[in-house]
Amino acid sequence: MARNLALAALVARGGVYYNLGGSTPAEVLAEAARTVSLPKGVDREALLKAVLERESLMPTAIGHGIAIPHPRNPIIADEAEQRVAVLFLKTPVPYNALDRKPVAALFLILSANARTHLSVLAEISHLCQRGDFLDFLAGRPSTAEFAAFVERAEDGWTAGS
């Protein structure tokens, strides 16, 4: 992944949020759309509609208590405004995950193009297979802590290639 599109930078831009309310995926996503920082010109209702539309095709829960909601098509025009918001739920929510675990954390991806979107999905999915990352995530890290952890992981991938 190009360094300017690294997950750490996208999360630093998108932020980390805590105690998101809701008892269903739709309620949680509505709260997320109301809560996250958005670039100018992105309508919160349009974001919610796009994310719910995507969820109706197939839930974005990937297991381990994590979901990766995202619009099916980009809703951000400017690559410099892309972001990933990490949202921790007040109470885990049943989300139709294959492992049947309720979701406690969301990664809301807002990208400008398919290339970035797929790259970010792959990186998050890879991290979510690591026990150290899942343990780290369970501690509900701050934005700075999250970015530092992911930067170390990304640096390790670069060094290993």
Conformational region of residue 97, where left means phi above 0, alpha means psi within -120 to 50, and beta covers everything else:
beta
C-alpha span between 39 and 41 (Å, rounded):
6
Q: How many CA atoms lie within 13 A of 65 on its CB side?
A: 15
pLDDT > 70 in the chain, percent: 94
Whether the pLDDT of residue 145 is over 90: the answer is yes
Domain that includes residue 34, residue range: 3-160
**pLDDT value, residue 156:** 77
Which residues carry out catalysis?
A: 70
Domain containing residue 19: CATH number: 3.40.930.10
Instruction: Give pTM, 2 decimals.
Output: 0.92
pLDDT band at 71 (very low <50, low <70, confident <90, very high): very high
Whether the pLDDT of residue 161 is over 70: the answer is no
Number of domains into which the chain is organized? 1
